[in-house]
């Protein structure tokens, strides 16, 4: 069978409109850090956690002030005319008419209260400090995991961009293949079957491109929701350039190198070696569990939740406790404000009050049961949360080990598929393979590289989160 010269084949496959190169392929890491810097100020999750932490800190001081003395001033100005003695009939036998006088009174009153013990106030202070501690731990956890979440979300966008980039090149080559098949069919050198195969190959690639565009839109949406940055701004930052003049000859390779640089985790893996080990190594599992104790933000958050459940249970029982307070009252009333403010003849009273609950139609029993139920529920939830945290980290460890093996296998698959593409190209030159076989080999290599990119991104996010949980988080102080 007659084959076109090598120069014509190169034009058909590689001189077609090449896949789009990244707008700043050599600056992906710079783009990531710019997005991260802006996201630290705009991310809704971070802002809500920071505001909650500040609010709970203020609430802790507010709860504490309920133990301190309190003074309230009230000012009253009134006019009264009391006919009650007339209407009561007490003056019915008197020979004269009685007209009550109008009385104008101006009064000030200062009430000072010193709470000695109030169970609700006591528990309110404990609850407020537990909530403040929980919110600080929650903020630390959200801030600590934000980098890995951002890298994963950003990486998902890059993965779809890379897929679009690779598919674009394959579509260009497939169009050239279809054009060649149609030309040769018109010259009687190809059959209708060859044309249909080329059309089917192109349709498959176009369908894959549409699916990838949809996945990219979903990835951009997730990144926007995480960072608080508008989608249009993110699109412009990560969008692949459509200007051929901006593409270097090896744009696809450069983009892949940049993604590999951005997702490099060698240093973290070296530090995490004691926590990886073999799959079911008891020593490794014990080391992970040990790092989850103490000051780990998530463990602190779980402990604070358990403390809060105990406090809520105790609050249900608080009204059954006695209350003791000291109260002082200073006041004076007179016909005018000048007389009322005169320091002479001021009234005062000082009293110590203890209130002891005696009988409430059995509410003591129901409140006691309510307290126990709330406390038991909180303890069970805390145990479940601690187990979930442990299992999540062990699952992340398993996924990291699996992805490391997958990444190694995918590197091998890339080399094998690239070698297969070269052999297919030579076979095509020798007339032993058709253009569709060559395109199929190129598509397989493209798919292998795309899968490798996705694996690198997942691995980088998992390793970052795993490293924070086991290296950085336990050193926090609360």
pLDDT, tens only, 234-257: 887 776 544 444 555 567 777 888
Flag whether pLDDT at 360 surpasses 80: no
Residue with tokens 């009391």: 82
Determine the average pLDDT of the residues in 76-89.
80
Mean pLDDT lowest among 38-52, 275-289, 350-364:
275-289
Residue 82 lies in a domain: no
Determine the average pLDDT of the residues in 186-204.
82
Determine the average pLDDT of the residues in 71-92.
81
Q: Can you read off the two tokens belonging to residue 11?
A: 């034009």
Domain range enclosing 260: 6-77+101-475
Flag whether pLDDT at 211 surpasses 80: yes
Q: Distance of CA 401 to CAs 272, 450, 459, Å? A: 12, 20, 9
Q: Are 308 and 127 in contact (CB under 8 A)?
A: yes
Percentage, residues of the chain above pLDDT 90: 33
Residue 92 lies in a domain: no
Q: Can you read off the two tokens belonging to residue 67?
A: 């133990």
Residue 41 lies in a domain: yes
What is the band of 220 on the pLDDT scale with cuts at 50, 70, 90? very high
Determine the average pLDDT of the residues in 111-130.
91
Flag whether pLDDT at 400 surpasses 90: yes
Q: How many distinct structural domains can be found in the chain? A: 1
pLDDT given at position 368: 82
Residue 58 lies in a domain: yes
CATH number at residue 265: 1.20.1600.10
Residue 94 lies in a domain: no
pLDDT given at position 92: 67
d(CA 291, CA 305): 20
Residue-wise pLDDT tens digits, 304-337:
999 999 998 888 888 888 999 999 999 999 988 8
pLDDT given at position 94: 63
pLDDT given at position 361: 72
Mean pLDDT lowest among 117-121, 181-185, 271-275:
181-185
What is the band of 95 on the pLDDT scale with cuts at 50, 70, 90? low
Mean pLDDT lowest among 13-17, 141-145, 157-161, 249-253:
13-17
Bigger pLDDT: 15 or 338? 338
d(CA 283, CA 273): 12
Residue with tokens 């190809």: 190
Flag whether pLDDT at 91 surpasses 90: no
Residue 467 lies in a domain: yes
Residue-wise pLDDT tens digits, 25-71:
447 888 888 899 999 999 999 999 999 999 999 999 999 888 889 99
pLDDT given at position 241: 45
What is the band of 427 on the pLDDT scale with cuts at 50, 70, 90? confident
Residue 19 lies in a domain: yes
Residue 73 lies in a domain: yes
């Amino acid at each position: 069978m007659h084959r076109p010269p090598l120069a014509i084949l190169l034009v058909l496959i590689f001189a077609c409109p090449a896949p789009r190169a990244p707008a700043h392929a050599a600056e992906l890491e710079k783009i990531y850090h710019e997005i991260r810097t802006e996201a630290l100020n705009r991310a809704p999750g971070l802002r809500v956690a920071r505001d909650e932490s500040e609010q709970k800190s203020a609430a802790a001081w507010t709860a504490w002030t309920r133990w301190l003395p309190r003074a309230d001033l009230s000012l009253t100005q009134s006019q009264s005319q009391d006919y009650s003695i007339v209407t009561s009939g007490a003056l019915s036998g008197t020979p004269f008419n009685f007209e009550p006088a109008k009385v104008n009174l101006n009064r000030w009153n200062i009430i000072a209260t010193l709470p000695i013990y109030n169970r609700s106030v006591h528990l309110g202070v404990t609850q407020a400090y537990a909530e403040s501690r929980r919110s600080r731990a929650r903020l630390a956890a959200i801030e600590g995991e934000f980098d890995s979440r951002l890298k994963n979300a950003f990486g998902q966008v890059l993965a779809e961009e890379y897929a679009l980039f690779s598919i674009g090149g394959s579509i260009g080559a497939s169009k050239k293949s279809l054009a060649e098949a149609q030309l040769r069919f018109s010259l009687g050198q190809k059959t209708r079957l060859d044309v249909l195969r080329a059309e089917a190959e192109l349709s498959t690639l176009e369908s894959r491109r549409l699916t990838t565009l949809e996945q990219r839109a979903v990835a951009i949406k997730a990144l926007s929701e995480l960072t608080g940055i508008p989608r249009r701004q993110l699109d412009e930052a990560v969008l692949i350039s459509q200007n051929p003049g901006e593409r270097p000859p090896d744009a696809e390779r450069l983009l892949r190198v940049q993604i590999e640089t951005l997702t490099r985790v060698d240093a973290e893996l070296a530090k995490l070696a004691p926590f990886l080990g073999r799959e079911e190594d008891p020593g490794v599992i014990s080391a992970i569990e040990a790092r989850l104790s103490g000051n780990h933000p998530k463990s602190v958050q779980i402990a604070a939740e358990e403390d809060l459940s105990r406090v809520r249970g105790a609050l249900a029982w608080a009204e059954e406790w006695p209350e003791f307070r000291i109260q002082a009252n200073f006041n004076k009333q007179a016909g005018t404000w000048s007389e009322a403010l005169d320091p002479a003849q001021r009234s005062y009273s000082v009293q110590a009050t203890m209130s002891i609950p005696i009988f409430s139609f059995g509410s003591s029993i129901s409140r006691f049961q309510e307290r126990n139920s709330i406390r038991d529920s909180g303890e069970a939830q805390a145990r479940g949360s601690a187990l979930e945290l442990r299992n999540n980290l062990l699952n992340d460890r398993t996924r990291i080990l699996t992805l490391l093996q997958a990444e190694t296998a995918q590197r091998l698959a890339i080399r094998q598929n690239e070698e297969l593409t070269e052999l297919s190209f030579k076979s095509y030159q020798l007339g032993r393979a058709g253009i569709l076989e060559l395109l199929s080999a190129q598509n397989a290599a493209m798919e292998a590289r795309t899968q490798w990119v996705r694996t690198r991104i997942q691995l980088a996010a998992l390793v970052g989160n795993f490293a924070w949980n086991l290296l950085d988080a336990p050193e926090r102080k609360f």
